[in-house]
Copies of this chain bind each other. A is one copy, B any other.
């Protein structure tokens, strides 16, 4: 395959300059880091003031989607085609080195750049929201009552084609100065993991409803 199709173009905006050996423009890597996150942080500017709004999001091919209220200040601003930076990060561990200086964090992150636009086509909007709902609980859309037209009207759905993106990943042990390996001090990595810590059924569930199979994917641990 054409290498160009496998990687994002690189410009002054997304070129990883620091610790560049940790950087990548590989689409597969960028997509996998995006897909393993529920939450992103969307950066945008209103009257010169930057805002970073935490938002649930999802991806289809090279498009990122996020949604909210039709009255949202964030979404109204973003739907006007202003530049947006959408960032996703996973904190995988705390890297405890033999010096403060080499202490670090194991992480996987993506910064994606583009301009958002409003999904106005009703069918596209409904389909995209259904895909989103089914992403968390497969089959949920058909179990739920369908979204009403009024609900869809109250909803703004934004879509952003990723123009440029970069991934940055740190893995593994501390990288200490050669002479510091002789120090009698413990070094290593404290690994973090985000787990399902239990499922709380709504006390208002009808007595005879059963936990749907789609919830089974959230088995504890």
List the interface of chain A (C-beta within 8 A of B).
13, 17-18, 38-39, 41-45, 48-54, 56, 68-69, 71-73, 83-87, 89, 91, 93-94, 96-101, 103, 105, 107, 109, 111, 113, 129-130, 132-133, 136-137, 140-141, 143-145, 147-148, 151, 155, 173-174, 180-206, 208-212, 215, 218
Contact = CB atoms under 8 A, between A and B. Distances in A.
A100 B129 CA distance: 8
A5 to B, nearest CB: 25
B187 A51 contact: no
A50 B87 contact: no
Given A96-B136, A100-B130, A173-B203, A89 B41 contact: yes
Copies of this chain, whole number? 2
Nearest to A101: B151
A15 to B, nearest CB: 10
Contacts of A137: 96
Contacts of A136: 94, 96, 103
Contacts of A45: 45, 48, 50
A86 B152 CA distance: 31
Given A52-B42, A52-B86, A191 B186 contact: no
Contacts of A52: 41-43, 52, 85-87, 111
Residue of A13, A69, A145, A181 with most partner-chain B CB within 10 A: A145
11 contacts: A41-B41, A51-B85, A54-B89, A93-B200, A94-B136, A96-B136, A100-B129, A100-B140, A186-B215, A190-B218, A192-B194
